[in-house]
Structure formats: structure tokens, C-alpha cells
Amino acid sequence: MILITLALGLTVAALLYLSMIWNFSYWRKRRVPGPKPKIFTGNYPNLYTMKRNMIYDLNDIYKEYKNKYDAVGIFSGRVPQLLVVSPELAHRVFLTNFKNFHDNELSKLTDEKSDFILSNNPFSLTGEKWKQRRADITPGLTNSRIKSVYPVTNKVCQQMTEWVKKQIRLGSREGLHAKDLTLRFTTEMVTDCVLGLSAESFSEKPTPIMAHINDLFSPNWSFVLLFALVNTFPSLGHLIKLRMVPHHVERFFVNLMGTAVKSRKSQQATGNFQRTDFLDYLLQLGEKRNLGTRHLLAHTMTFLLDGFETVAAVLSHMLLLLGRDEVVQQHLREEILPHIREGSIPYDKLNDLPYLDACLNESIRLFPPGFMTSKLCTESIELPNKDGPNFTVDKGTVIVIPHACHMMDEEYFPDPLTFKPERFMEPDAAKTFRERGIFMGFGDGPRICLGMRFAQCQIKAAIVELISQFNIKVNPKTRKDNLYDPSLFLANLNGGIWLDLEARQ
């Protein structure tokens, strides 16, 4: 009896072991070079321990292979992935060979039944559905619509100043938590411009909207666990689909959307309301396509899901970098102050301040919200590999592009860890960096970020407000290096950012 149990146990263990390493010959068979994978974690040693951000593990591989190859074969758990090391190949994936790498990996991990909101985001949509949705959303984010919500942006900026002044009066030795400040800002912006409601983010008692927006971005443990499981056993992906937006949050927003639509319609019925904001566009779209509240919500949530955390993260890191460098901060203030009219800068001028633009781009280079991209091969293709032989990427293969490795490479950005907005002051610098594939903070090609201009406008308006009203200093509690938080998919300074703001004059 004992013997049988033992033999059974050993067989099971051996089978498990074999199945875990079964695919480790995948890249060797295709003559793609790569580092040796380990059982369970593959080439991501910190996949489960989260001791170090995975981008640093990818960076070790990147540095070892970048001079000899364009791409290397790696494994996430036991799933083969192609790691793109040369920026030229990154550019091909995003642009030249777009049809072969049309979709994002996320599309495989979720579906309408398990997460209606996430699966309806343009980022997760595939093929023709993506094309249609992108065409639907694009006219909603034009320059003229962003300009028409600019007065709302400025109103929110002023509320932010009042709130900061109050925090200064209350005086905390720890300083101001930058992410808390910037999340209040983006929450208020998005709810006002997209839903036409106020979240009262800068008051003592914010409405429940603020808390629910925060819940959107705190996936619970079951999400994290499932994600790891599907990563190790991709065939489970057919059975388990991921849900990032919890049920109660989805219900809350469906109701809120209903309220927003009703209140806007009644305002319009009285005839004295005119605002060509995003809600206005979404309602027109809803009528044209005959969309119900739930579908209308899915469109609306695009603005919240994609724009809320990214903008807040970039803004808080930009404040950190300006706070650390008094010279840059003063230089920026001198560019800004002469153009302020009645508390803000006219919209057209805001987009015509080169140093402000350069500071923003340099902040995104050091802390990019998209530090890596996982694309899917949608049509197999033969690729060259520098010193190595040509190879074929099969349909369905995951392609990892580690943008942060290019952005941290001293070959492309001398003294890469230092904040130097001057890098972007050369004529056409950003365009050249993008065409070489070494800096695409907002992506590139047909899937380039839809909200880029809206994001830039919000961030610039907030910086103009804060820089003109306050001197920005960094509280000593904040780290002095640029080390990323080990557990996040967005590049965030480990340990958080605390600021000391002083009212000017």
C-alpha cells in the first residue's frame, strides 16, 4: 500500500516536473538564442516573490544580448515569449509590421462575460471590433473638444490650489502625499469632463465616486493569483477569464452613468445648457449607434480606466523631479509666468511652451506608465536576428517590448538616470527618438494612445498652476534614487513621493 502511494506520488511529481519544463526547448528548436529558464518562474526570477520590479530582470537579459541580436527567446513561467531587444525591431512591431502584431496580450486574458468593462476597452479589443471602437472614440478626443473643456480644467486647478493651501495651514511634517493630490485632481477632472458631475475630491467629504474610482485600481488577491495561474498554465485561460473591475464597482458606475445621462438630458431640455464636453459626444454617439446605458458606460469607462491612473502617476513624478532640481524648476517658472492671464495660460499658448513640454517628456522617460508592452503575434512572420539566423514567429506568440530598457540605456540617453529636459530641446528630438524606437511614451503606430493630447493638457495645466502658486520641495522621507516599485505594472517610485509645498509671495 505504502509502495503504491509512493510510486503514485513520484509519478505525479515527475509528470508535473515534465510538464513544467516541456516547453523549454521551444526557442532552441526555432534557433532563437536566450537565457536558460528556471522551473516555475522561467526567466522572471521575481515572478512570485515580487522582490524586484520585473523590468530590472528584463534589463539584465537586455544588456547581455542587445549587441548581438534583435530578439531573444524567454519564458514567463513555462510560456514562451519573444523579448525584443533592438529598438529597430520594436519600431517594426508597432509600425512597419503592425498587421502581424495587431493586438495586445490582455485581449487573451479577459472577455465580455467575465469583465464587461475591461474587455470593451479599445486596448483589449481585437481585429475589426478594435477598429470600429477606435473610430468611435477618436472624434470624442479632438483638439477642439479638449479646448472646450479647458475652462473646467482651470476650475479644477484652482480648487487644487485652495486645497493645497489648506493642507499647508494644517501643516504635516510628513509633507503632502503626491499621489493622493494627483489622484484627487484626475478624479475631479474626469468626473466633471466625462460625466458632468463633481466628485467633490477637494472637499472634506468626497462623494463615493472617489472611493469607487480607487477600487477600480486595486485588484484583489484572487485577481493576482489567477493572473499568475493563467501565466503558468495558459490552457486554463479558456476556462478562467480575469475580472479586474469588481462587480460592485461596475454596478456603481452603471447607476452613476444613468444619473449623469438623466441630469444632462434634463439640463438640455430646459435649453440653457451648452457644453461640448465628452459626455455631450458620448450621448450623440449613443443615439447614433443606439447604445444602452451599459454600452454607453463601457465607452465612458475608457476615459476613466486609461486616463486616471496614468495621468496621476506622470503628474506626481513630474512634481518629484522638479522638486529635486531647483534650477530646472526656476527655469520652467520663468517660461510660464509671463503668459499667465487671469490665473491661467490661454489654451493655445499652453501647447506652445517648449521647456514645459520637454520637462513632461523627460518625466515620462524616467517613469513611463507603459514601461513594457505585451503584444500578440496575429499573423506569423519571418524575422532577421542580426548575428543569429532568421526565425519565424508563430501566430499566438506573446511579444514583449521592454521600453524602459531602451529609455534607461546610456547608449541612447547619456547619464540615463538623471533628469535632463534639455535632451528634448534639440529640434525634433522627440520625433527622432520615436522613429528610432527608443522612446515611445504614448506608444506608436495605429494603436498610439488615444488620450495623448487630453493627458498632456491636464498635466501641463496642473503643473502651470502648482509651479506658479508654490515652491516645490521634496520631503526627506522620499527616496533619493529612481528605483521602481517591485509590485506594479506602472513605473512608480518605490516607497511613494512626499512633497513640501510653500506658497509663493
Ligand X SMILES: *[C@@H]1O[C@H](CO)[C@@H](O)[C@H](O)[C@H]1NC(C)=O
Residues making contact with ligand HEM (CB under 6 A) = 94, 122-123, 134, 302-303, 306-307, 310-311, 314, 364, 369-370, 373, 441-445, 447-451, 454-455
Contacts of 184 (CB under 8 A, 6+ apart): 160, 163, 201, 202, 206, 210
**Minimal distance in Å, beta carbon 480 to ligand X?**
26
122 binds, among ligand X, ligand HEM, none (CB under 5 to 8 A by kind): ligand HEM
Closest distance to ligand X from the beta carbon of 68 (Å): 16
76 is an interface residue for ligand X by CB under 6 A: no
Least distance in angstroms from the C-beta of 191 to ligand X = 23
Residue 60 or 88: the one with the smaller Cβ distance to ligand X is 88
Greatest Cα pair distance in the chain: 88
CB of 280 to ligand HEM, least distance (A): 15
Q: Does 323 bind ligand X (CB under 6 A)?
A: no
C-alpha span between 429 and 388 (Å, rounded): 32
> Taking CB under 6 A as the rule, does residue 250 contact ligand X?
no
- Of 24, 217, 223, 273, the one binding ligand X (CB under 6 A) is 223
Closest approach, Cβ 246 to ligand X, in A, equals 5
Residue that is written with C-alpha cell 472614440 in the block: 137
- Tell me the per-residue interface mask from 348 to 387 with ligand X, x by CB under 6 A, - otherwise: ------x--xx--x--------------------x-x---
Phi, psi of 474 (to 5 degrees): -100, 130
* Cβ proximity of 137 and 282 under 8 Å: no
> Contact, 438 vs 86, CB < 8 A?
no
User: Please, what sign has the CA dihedral across residues 169, 174, 176, 180?
Assistant: negative
Report in angstroms the alpha-carbon separations of 223 from 105, 153, 226, 229. 16, 34, 5, 10
Q: Tell me the three cell numbers of residue 191.
A: 468626473
Pick what 220 binds: ligand HEM, ligand X, none; C-beta below 5 to 8 Å, kind-dependent. Answer: ligand X
The binder of 134, among ligand X, ligand HEM, none, by C-beta within 5 to 8 A per type, is: ligand HEM
The sheet carrying 470-474 orders its strands as 176-177, 498-503, 470-474
**Should residue 450 be labelled a site residue for ligand X when binding is judged by CB under 6 A?**
no
Is 246 one of the binding residues for ligand X (CB under 6 A)? yes
How many residues bind to ligand X according to rule CB under 6 A? Answer: 23
Contact 439, 366 (CB under 8 A): no
Instruction: Look at residues 339, 335, 338 and name the one whose alpha carbon lies nearest to residue 357.
Output: 335
Q: Which is nearer to ligand HEM, 213 or 450 (CB)?
A: 450
R_g of the chain, CA atoms, integer Å? 24
